Structure 1
Amino acid sequence: MTSERSRQYPPREQNPVESSILGTRIRQRRREIGLTQAELARRIGISPSYLNLIEWNKRRIAGGLLRRTAEAVDLTVEELDDDTGRRLLDRLSEIAQLPELADVGIEEHRTNEFVGRFPGWAQGMAALAQSEREATVRAQIVADRLSNDPFLSETVHRMLTRIAAIRSAAEILSDYPEVPQARRQRFTDIVNEESRTLTGIAEALAAYLDKVEASDRKLTPVDEVEALFAERQNRFAELDAAAAPLASRLSSLHPGGRRDEARALAEAHLQEIVESLCRQPPIETAAARARARRRLMDYATGAVLMPLADFVSRAADLRYDIEALAEAFAAEVESVCLRLTALSPGKETPRFGYFRANAAGTIIEMLGLEGLTVPRYAAACPLWVLYRAQGSPEAVLPQRVLFPSGARFVFVARATGVGPSGFGRPRHYVTDMLVMREADATHTVYGPDPRALVEEVGPSCRLCPRRSCLHRVEDPFAE
């Protein structure tokens, strides 16, 4: 027979780190206003012993009990049950899992108490870790750029050529004093001319590096557009709201025809919003505006094809199965993958990243994921399933990966034919790849199979420290 207590109260949480920090916040607030545990329990209508369990995060609290508790401690529900605390808890839990902290002995089971009792210190720790992570990423980008940036390579080569010419002329002037004056003047002119050229090259290089170092400026049109999407977390609410009513005008049942209809509707009705977004601060150059216009129109097309409210519901029901979603909305897999990146991450909603590569291995579109380092000026790791998928066209290939940093992800790739097809025609493919953290993948059909191989991969050869990798083609930039 079920007892009254078991009907009234939820079961004990198994993992306190995953539980809410509400209990700690309630305990701290109760002490701040001078309430005893017994008095607060009386006001909200529960026993002191059960309140004690709540305050130590042994029981969850929600609904009417949460509202009564908030009123009893003179706070609103929003002030008491703030998502900021949970996000901070998640960030600190990630920090505790960093490989470099494995031997420190962090009391992970007390993370929620730390956040609740010392929110300022917790924010500081998270900010410090974020700063360190950003510095590491910047260093990796610089290493990548020094190794592969064609402008730097060409400029350094030109400088070395001019320096060699100056040195040769100077050696002749120094080692052969008997050279006639007319010829000496010729070599002096060479030194003078090459020095001026070298100065111009050096000034151009300095200006270029100044632009690289300017934290508030973007290096290329690609960087400007990526900054816009990163600031919005790949979601544009104004486009979603305006696109939703247009979905009812779609009539084609074929994915290609339906996409063309959605594109035409987006261009006819959403152009003004797109142009407004293209004028926002991260977009500074004409080239970036043209690129942003294309990317935003792709987003708007997806918003017409898959209205956000319907898509959120169906995606959860289908556990984020890209093929099932493509069938449900009569859309292409590429559109589904891009739409998934627009979802706001939540307790059971993963944060998705997206990559698209052509047959040459060039990443032609990217919506990155925090913690996943991707080379900007060189090919990515050849072990990524992104490159393997074109050997099995139209098949969905999942891959569990482990990066040198210790970060674990699940990649899901599918190669799709593009361009005209027919007998005697060559087939061309592009690969779409969805990316999610391994922990997030448990909420999807691609949840990691414990029997599946975990493949050790890296960002690229120059940024990867795995010296023993059989597929390495370049040495790491730095040991």
Structure 2
Amino acid sequence: MTDNALLAGPALRRLRKREGLTQAAMAASLGISPSYLNLIERNQRPLSARVLVQVIERFDFDPRSLREDEAIGGIDGLVRRMTDKRFADLGIDREEVQEFLAAAPQAAAAFARLYDTAGDAAVRSDDPIAVTRQAIERWQNHFADLDHLAEAISDDLRLSRSDTGAALADRLREKHQLSVRILPAEVMPGLVHRLDLHNRQLQLSEMLPGAARRFQIARQVGALELRDEIETLTEGANLGSNEARKLFQEHVTDYAAAALLMPYRRFLRACEQTNYDVNILQRRFASSFDQIAQRLTTLQRVGERGLPFFCARFGRTGRIVHYTAGASGAVHPIDGARWPAWVPYAAFESRGSLLTQAVTFGEGEAIPKHWFTVARTVEVDGAACSARKAVVLGLEARFAGELAHARGISLDPKDAVPLGVGCPRCGRVDCLTPAPPRLASTAF
């Protein structure tokens, strides 16, 4: 029988030096030759299961240290950092990053720590939105404890009523003495919801459609019953400004609402049963397209992972107004990148239609570049409901083969629409849809 094996040279070398042993002495203790130990330490031979057991027994070795790269997000986390525009001219590809991590994991961790700290300092001073997005991306937009707590509440609600929205309204009234009241738009000018503690009412504008009303009720239940967990997550994010903390807390509260309406295990099972058909998911969970799209970026529970989507929302001018990378590894176009050939822009000309497109984009050679994307317009909830935004979901094309919306779409990279690095830095003279000057602005 062949032992399962792994490369762990740097970890074993640090252990030997900590113990003050020569290679010959450690090899004798492990019952292997010094030359074989030398090859293991240089990652030219794997650390077999048999030898690993010997290391654990003789040196009180913690095998979890072999996964030390998890602290920086593993190979994908290091790859994301290497795609920074400051390294673009170096041509660092994924294979080279993998070699760096395997050969010198501590040095890689030091680089990641320095990069993260520098990034925090760079954006915290003047951009709370970027700081908040960075904090969310560290979690890959998956807050496991919050999901488990919300799932337990949702399971309780199902025991009382099959209609989750009605059950949430009942819970708000019975447990928190708050009733839900729908008010005319002229009574709530410029507002879509308001908490009136004097009258013990959650007041909602009549302009909110059904899915948005249910979301606001779920949001209020989550804010009350998951308050401690939300506050713990917000404090743990270590954000440097009150505005950033407020934005992060709002995001996590929205997350709790989605987790109540679309509890993790049931939602993931529905995704897998329907091949992530967004139209079916909307009806099954009585939610809107953008609510479903945002929830799809969160499916990273250990042992029950979904596909790694990113989600972006665009205003009519082409400006990204919201972006969530999830676990996709997609990089936010922070320098004002606009891609007029991309499907979200076309969605504005096909109101309410679901559009699909395979594209390539990204900077450097180290990140995945081939994506399958789905987009459609949605109406803005509330008093300004005549306004629209475009929502796009993206997934690495290599994961998209079984998607319901990918049927009939070529996932061959040669057939993908090349989007380059965004209009401000593209430099292509043969582009079929050049950005006008107002879209090519570097101001975001």
| TM-score normalised to structure 2 length | 0.60
Pair 1:474-2:437 in alignment: yes
User: Percent identity between the aligned chains?
Assistant: 21
Q: Deviations over 1:41-100 (max 9, x none)?
A: 68xxxxx99x989995777867x9855553345302212343438945456667599874
Distance 1:441 1:52, change over 3 A: farther
Structure 1 unaligned residues grouped into runs of 5+: 11-18, 43-47, 139-213, 421-425
What's the CA shift for 1:399?
A: 2.5
C-alpha separation in 2, matches of 1:107 and 1:364: 30
Q: What runs of 5+ residues in structure 2 fail to find an aligned partner?
A: 166-209
What is the distance in 2 between the residues matched to 1:41 and 1:316? 49
1:402 aligns with 2:361: yes
Gap change, CA 1:411 and 1:355, over 3 Å in 2 = farther
Residue 244 (structure 1) aligned with residue 234 (structure 2): no
* One of 419, 431, 434 as aligned partner of 1:457: 419
Aligned positions, number: 370
Question: Under a length normalisation based on structure 1, what TM-score does the superposition of the two structures give?
Answer: 0.57
Q: 1:23–1:226: structure 2 CA closer, same or farther, 3 Å change rule?
A: closer
How far residue 23 of structure 1 moved from its aligned partner, in angstroms, is 6.1
Match of 2:176 in 1: none
Q: Which has the larger radius of gyration?
A: 1
- Written as runs of structure 1 = structure 2, the 5 A alignment for 1:68-467 is 69-84=55-70, 87-90=73-76, 100-102=89-91, 108=95, 111-112=98-99, 115-123=101-109, 130=115, 215=122, 217-219=124-126, 222-223=129-130, 225-226=132-133, 228-230=135-137, 232-237=139-144, 239-248=146-155, 249-250=157-158, 251-252=162-163, 256=211, 259=215, 262-271=218-227, 273-274=229-230, 282=239, 284-285=241-242, 291-292=247-248, 294-308=250-264, 310-311=266-267, 322-323=278-279, 325-326=281-282, 329-344=285-300, 351-368=308-325, 372-375=331-334, 380-392=338-350, 393-403=352-362, 405-406=364-365, 407=367, 408-418=369-379, 429-437=388-396, 449-450=411-412, 453-458=415-420, 460-467=422-429
RMSD: 5.3
* Cα distance between partner residues in 2 of 1:388 and 1:311: 29
Per-residue deviation, 1:253: 6.8
1:277 & 1:235 partners in 2: Cα distance?
12
Corresponding residue SS for 2:251: helix
Q: Which amino acid aligns with 1:364?
A: V
Cα contact 1:23–1:54 (8 A) shared by 2:
yes
Q: Which amino acid aligns with 1:466?
A: R
Counterparts in 2 of 1:39 and 1:223: CA distance versus 1, 3 Å: closer
| Contact residue 355 and residue 432 of structure 1 kept, 8 A | yes
Q: d(CA) in 2 for partners of 1:330 and 1:355?
A: 21
Q: Of 22, 30, 36, which aligns to 1:40? A: 30
Change (3 A) 1:60 1:276: closer
Partner of 1:181: none
Change in 2 beyond 3 A, CA 1:323/1:27? farther
